[in-house]
Structure 1
Amino acid sequence: MAEKVTLYYFDGRGQMESIRWLLAVAGVEFDEVLLKTREQFLNLLKDGSLMFQQVPLVEMDGLKLVQTKAILNYISAKYNLYGKDLKERVKIDMFAEGTRDLMDMMKMMPFLTPDNQKGKLEEMHRKALERYFPVYEKALSNSQYLVGEQLSCADIHLLEATLMVEEKCPSVLSTFPNLQAFQARMTRVPAISKFLQPGSKRKAQPDEVYVRTVKEVLEF
């Protein structure tokens, strides 16, 4: 039996959530070590687990993986979510980087002051409508998937991103029929439907406890 994957992160979304999404869609069971104290983090530093002194950390296949993009690429390649050749892979990367840019704006918002949160939300909403979603709407105009003829990590990241943005801006997809259809198709995929159900390992929106814990553990 393969060794179970273990994730080291906070009890929240952050940089780990996209990793959880990929593992869930790939059907990979994983355990989580939730960081709640500064001591836990210092122990990971002390034993050399954190190459660049930061989480997320994923233990799988006898490796200690750090750096979010590297982890996502490893999982995508291992579970056939990374295209069939180099040309498809670079297209997947381009689409995936766009969704990560959008989600990164969302991830930072809980750590801002209320006034700055409002401004960042307005910026995120505008960029979603004007910069990001039009690209994906066009890409899905004649295709079920963003790249090629099979599901890739880019599709999974896009679904995650659209759901995140909708939590803050419920009508954001109203002028993007292809994205609406894509979202409906994707949420019917059994592994995704299961991950979206209550009680799954998908994390809720960040709250004050999450923000406070991150600040205390990382001391910032």
Structure 2
Amino acid sequence: MSEKVVLYYFNGRGVMESIRWLLAAAGVQFEEVLLTKREQFEKLLNDGALMFQQLPLVEIDGMQLVQSKAIMNYIAGKYNLNGSGLKERAMIEMYSEGLRDLMEMIMILPFKKTDEKETQLGVTQEKAKSRYFPVYEKALSGSQYLVGSQLSRADVHLMEATLMLEEKFPTILSTFPSLKAFQDRMRSLPTINKFLQPGSQRKPQPDDAYLKNVTEVLKLQLS
């Protein structure tokens, strides 16, 4: 197994994108094995690399890690993105899980029927503005970071989530000044700024090619 960090996933965002964000924020270089054929997935299964027969898979420190939450917890712990002490970590986990719930509402869109997408978008926008963003706006009022006095995984996830929502709703942060200021601060961080530049390993919004790739490799039957 390579000593390098290697990510196994599709050529798209999905649940791997938050992992890419964390590694990038920590300044960690990583390689990617992009699955384009069913045979690649079957080889991982046959090699015993996928504990629960599903992606994502990350090779790091001589381990094959699966389950996105476990992967992100390991990366956050290894690169000092998990706060100081149990209480800070608990807060970071709560903020991160909330953002995961929010981002999942966007991630499922490509797999929705066309007539369901507009409804899903409306629900997502309403919940972002009434349930999720007010929490982070309050936490950042007068504070540079969500938790404590240093960057944490929650901050990285928040940056990813706000940019993701702005792609769908360009003015969604217009009534959340602390979130806008937070974005500006995050953009000034060298590792984040580098990840936001063209040519980075950040993935674009999913398109039909991504959907076709995922469904063929995993043999999904979409309704």
TM-score by length of 2: 0.97
Corresponding residue number in structure 1 for 2:16: 16
Corresponding residue number in structure 2 for 1:62: 62
Corresponding residue number in structure 2 for 1:181: 181
Q: Secondary structure at the match of 1:55?
A: coil
Percent identity, aligned pairs only, is 65
Matches within 5 A, 1:134-173: 134-173=134-173
1: CA distance between counterparts of 2:128 and 2:78? 30
Cα drift, residue 4 of structure 1: 1.1
Matches within 5 A, 1:46-125: 46-125=46-125
Cα drift, residue 42 of structure 1: 0.6
2: CA distance between counterparts of 1:67 and 1:191? 25
1: CA distance between counterparts of 2:198 and 2:111? 26
AA aligned opposite 1:185:
R
Q: Secondary structure at the match of 1:97?
A: helix
Cα drift, residue 114 of structure 1: 1.3
Q: Secondary structure at the match of 2:108?
A: helix
AA aligned opposite 2:5:
V
2: CA distance between counterparts of 1:187 and 1:111? 31
Q: Secondary structure at the match of 1:100?
A: helix
2: CA distance between counterparts of 1:7 and 1:174? 35
Corresponding residue number in structure 1 for 2:31: 31
Cα drift, residue 141 of structure 1: 0.7
Cα drift, residue 113 of structure 1: 1.2
TM-score by length of 1: 0.99
Q: Secondary structure at the match of 1:149?
A: coil
Cα drift, residue 204 of structure 1: 0.4
Matches within 5 A, 1:187-202: 187-202=187-202
- Render the CA deviation track for 1:6-44: whole Å, top value 9, x for unaligned: 000000000000000000111111100000011100110
1: CA distance between counterparts of 2:188 and 2:116? 36
Cα drift, residue 139 of structure 1: 0.3
2: CA distance between counterparts of 1:195 and 1:115? 34
AA aligned opposite 2:214:
V
Corresponding residue number in structure 1 for 2:219: 219
Structure 2 unpaired stretches of 5+: none
AA aligned opposite 1:135:
V
2: CA distance between counterparts of 1:119 and 1:81? 36
Q: Secondary structure at the match of 2:3?
A: coil
Cα drift, residue 193 of structure 1: 0.5
Structure 1 unpaired stretches of 5+: none
2: CA distance between counterparts of 1:52 and 1:162? 31
* Structure 1 runs of 4+ with >4 Å offset: none
AA aligned opposite 2:82:
Y
Q: Secondary structure at the match of 2:54?
A: coil
